């Protein structure tokens, strides 16, 4: 029996990640008798995990609370996030209003990161109403969301200012969720690529350490509008962003950088989206205030479990059991 899977790597937790074959995105693995003999020894480990290429980038889910929480609501979110079993293969972070950063950090388990939703471009000074990366770190938090679509569109933050903020946050040692977005009029006028690539260009100019950056793409036309982006639409844009990284930064950065999607992600659509080849997680708004965020954090585990099952049944078949 010959089965073909795309971009499959096998890994045992005891031995770290073992590449079955040096796969590029274009390769496929044929589980014919020749290759099966290479794969089979690995299948004997009980802790076998099977990953797609995209799983080399740890799945990343950030629930952005925006301006929708108070202490009581945070307590409630902390309760259901703490009680749930969260997939350890997902890096989970919450985006918290600045006045509650310390409170959220204090109450959430340390495995869940806390991000500020914005910051300014200098460490301190006479900038009423602003906070700095140093202040966020002083609250025990290591992440910041910059260039969020609401900052870009409601507060008219230009690319250049966002770029300066990213540069300073990186210099200060923060991890950054750098956002790019597409409006309905961009899509309607076929300007998606042009608009996103322009945003990527100004962002990239300010990034000194890509290993501490997650790129978030938001389809603004699919956020709070009742219109959902189809998986094909999401994949198309994420692939374009990865292409941009490959051609304008490097192959390594394109392979390693997590690109996540935002726009009405829910417990209903997350599993389907989580299978997309270039999707490495989600930036979640309204569903982050509800227990749905747990399903979204766990949306990949079902996919991985399914792959493990496929391999387990193949192993049983090859043993004739």
Ligand X SMILES: O=C(CO)COP(=O)(O)O
Q: Which residues bind ligand X (CB under 6 A)?
A: 64, 218, 223-224, 262-265, 283-287
Question: Rounded to the nearest whole angstrom, what is the least distance from the CB of residue 213 to ligand X in the complex?
Answer: 17
- Say if residues 145 and 118 touch (Cβ distance below 8 Å): yes
What tokens does 32 get? 């014919």
d(CA 298, CA 301): 5
Residue sitting closest to ligand X (CB) = 285
Give the position of tokens 């025990």.
140
CB of 246 to ligand X, least distance (A): 26
310 phi, psi to nearest 5 deg: -60, -45
Q: What is the dihedral of CA 96, 286, 254, 140, to 10 degrees?
A: 10
| Catalytic residue selected from 91, 150, 182, 218 | 218
Closest approach of Cβ 117 to ligand X, in Å? 8
Minimum CB–partner distance for residue 255 and ligand X (Å): 25
- Residue whose CB is less far from ligand X, 11 or 229: 229
- Residue number, 14 or 226, with CB nearest to ligand X: 226
Among residues 148, 168, 182, 314, which one is catalytic? 148
Look up 218 and say whether it is catalytic: yes
Identity of the residue, 61 or 131, whose beta carbon is nearer to ligand X in the bound complex: 61
H helix runs in the chain, sequence order = 33-43, 71-83, 101-107, 133-138, 149-153, 159-171, 184-188, 192-205, 231-248, 251-256, 270-274, 292-297, 299-319
Residue 148 annotated to the active site: yes
Phi, psi of 18 (to 5 degrees): -115, 125
* Residue among 207 and 219 whose Cβ is closer to ligand X: 219
Q: Please say which residue, 31 or 61, places its beta carbon nearer to ligand X.
A: 61
Would you state the structure tokens that stand for residue 258, as one six-digit string?
């997590």
> Smallest distance from the beta carbon of 65 to ligand X, in angstroms?
9
- Residues catalogued as catalytic: 148, 218
């Amino acid at each position: 029996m010959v089965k073909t899977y795309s971009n499959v790597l096998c890994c045992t937790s005891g031995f770290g990640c073992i590449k079955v074959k040096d796969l590029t995105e274009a390769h496929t693995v044929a589980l014919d008798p020749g290759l099966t003999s290479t794969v089979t020894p690995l299948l004997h480990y009980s802790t076998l995990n099977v990953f797609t290429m995209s799983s080399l980038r740890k799945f990343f889910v950030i629930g952005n609370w925006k301006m929708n929480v108070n202490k009581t609501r945070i307590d409630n979110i902390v309760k259901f996030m703490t009680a749930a079993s969260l997939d350890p293969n997902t890096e989970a972070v919450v985006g918290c209003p600045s006045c509650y950063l310390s409170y959220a950090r204090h109450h959430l388990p340390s495995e869940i990161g806390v991000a500020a939703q914005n910051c300014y471009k200098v460490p301190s000074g006479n900038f009423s109403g602003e906070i700095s990366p140093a202040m966020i770190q002083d609250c025990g938090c290591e992440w910041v969301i910059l260039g969020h679509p609401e900052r870009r569109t409601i507060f008219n933050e230009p690319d250049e200012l966002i770029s300066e903020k990213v540069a300073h946050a990186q210099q200060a040692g923060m991890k950054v969720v750098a956002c790019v977005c597409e409006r309905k009029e961009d899509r309607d006028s076929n300007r998606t690529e042009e608009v996103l690539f322009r945003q990527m260009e100004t962002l990239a100019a300010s990034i000194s350490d890509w290993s501490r950056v997650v790129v978030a793409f938001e389809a603004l036309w699919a956020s709070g509008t009742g219109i959902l982006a189809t998986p094909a639409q999401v994949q198309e844009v994420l692939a374009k962003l990865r292409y941009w990284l490959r051609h304008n930064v490097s192959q390594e950065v394109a392979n390693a950088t997590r690109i996540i999607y935002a726009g009405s992600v829910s417990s209903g659509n997350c599993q389907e989206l989580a299978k997309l080849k270039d999707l490495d997680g989600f930036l979640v708004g309204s569903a982050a205030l509800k227990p749905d965020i747990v399903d979204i954090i766990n949306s990949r585990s079902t996919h991985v479990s399914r792959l493990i099952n496929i391999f387990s049944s193949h192993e049983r078949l090859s043993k004739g059991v």
